[in-house]
A and B are shown apart, each in its own frame.
Chain A
Amino acid sequence: MTLNQQRKFKTLIIGFFSWLVACLLFFPIFWMFITSFKTELQAISIPPTLFFEPTLDNFSIVQERSDYLKHAMNSVVTSFGATIIALIIGVPAAYSMAFSPTKRTKDILLWMLSTKMLPAVGVLVPIYILFRDNGLLDSRIGLVIIFTLMNLPIIIWMLFSYFKDLPKEILEAARMDGATPWDEMMKVVLPLSIGGISSTGLLSIVLCWNEAFWSLNLTASEAAPLTAMIASYSSPEGLFWAKLSAASTLACAPIVIFGWFCQKQLVQGLTFGAVK
């Protein structure tokens, strides 16, 4: 086998496994999508049916039973709201730690990351009581606060690693030209790391959109996002897979379309940086 043939073979193998992994990851979504067009009986039939007469009944049932737009609006407001606030806090925090580190910076970063290791249910009761006492239960503001806090560690970590990759000489040059720390951040660091900030923001939006634990525990009728809508279709006594799949398809659609348009930035941002 010549070197060229070896290279081609390697590419073929890598391509095959990439497609295999992609298909494995995509299969549950594909199955959910086709199940949403089945009747409840077809959805549970064994062996599973691949060819069937599709029906839109499940979508009309979901539309009739749930206020989809209200849930979707709650998801949009809480995901984007929490991401914007987290970026407003996270960018200066990561900037200061990346460009003016102290001997405790590493400890602070590790401590922030350690908060992600605590199971959320461990702090459910204190947070629930705090929310109750401050009138934040079942409110969008409450969810925005909890989503912001939930995503801050990961946002700061990601931004920190992007900022660390920027050459210090550029900042020194800016200082030589009389730039203040504010100018440095706004006119030098941010324009240079806009790709990283965008991908961090996108990741945060996706994490907020998919969040279910706090959404289910801290909301009821007013602020419940799409994840709560999906959960409402699970039934202890009765067939529900087709309707649940329709609700999930509707809930996934906006973020999938959004991700489709932004995938270039997302991949670029996630693969950019020294620690990747």
Chain B
Amino acid sequence: MNYIIRSTLFRLIMLAAITVTQLNAHAQTDMDALMMGKNNFCTGFMVGNSSWKNYWEGTLKRDNPNLGTVGSTMIGIMGNYGIKDNLNILFSVPYISNSASAGTLVKRQGLQDLTLTVKWMPVETTIGKADFSVYALGSYSTPLTNYVSDYLPLSIGLGAKTAMARIMADYQLGNFFTTASAAFFTRSNVSIDRVTYYTTRMHYTNEVEMPNMANFNLRAGYRSGKGYAEVIADIMQTNGGFDITRNNMPFLSNQMNASRIGVGFKYNFGKVEGLSAVGNAMFTVAGRNMGQATAISAGVFYIFDFNKKSNSKTQENESK
């Protein structure tokens, strides 16, 4: 099925924004089994909103009338460039604003982290009548500003430099697809504004060691030249970290876990070549030391084709 030109789009990524506020967090872009064709550049912006009233204090689910509803608004720009048909580089930069509807805490906003991702498709083959492809992704993200990280749940990010490796497989039979991926995250220490902090013991340092994280993502749906529609299941887990103690505030090195389900779509506007709209909604069904967030996001993307011969960009495909 190699007549497919792999154009693509990609969706929201906020790799590092995995906080108790930002359930919206984690990568989606890199999680789709779509590649930009060589010399194509897809760019656009996303807006998103995530909010929660209930959260898990360790394993105890509760609300907090001194926070009310914690809301996070995101505007991000992102881009994806095809170095080769099977090798893309991606970037994203979100601006985030977090606030609580009750209590006195000041809201926080600002540019968060720059994420750069390399996406490579080493395997593309057919199994019977189906297409099968394998992807390997690596990303690095780093804070763009000296934002306040030690201010959960309202800090806009965790302040860590994060590296991720993801392995992903995509299987498509006719117009129906399934994409599964697993990722591993490692994070640098975070420097905070105080010189001592307590986790399950006292630490006499301003450096916080951040536990590793893992992500498992499964998506399935219908994909054609017009776009796609999918259902999503996502598990984010922290390997280590500690629980928020009773009536305490969250901390950077908490064990932050979330299991989420959701839906997503992409639509290619046939009339304007290269223009597409995307959206998704995610709901947290289980968690630990995180809010039970409902998150929606939407975006618009456009593909610039730097190939001389300007043939059609989107509609053909994505129908892997």
Co-assembled chains A and B? no
The residues of B with any CB-CB pair to A shorter than 8 Å are none
The residues of A with any CB-CB pair to B shorter than 8 Å are none
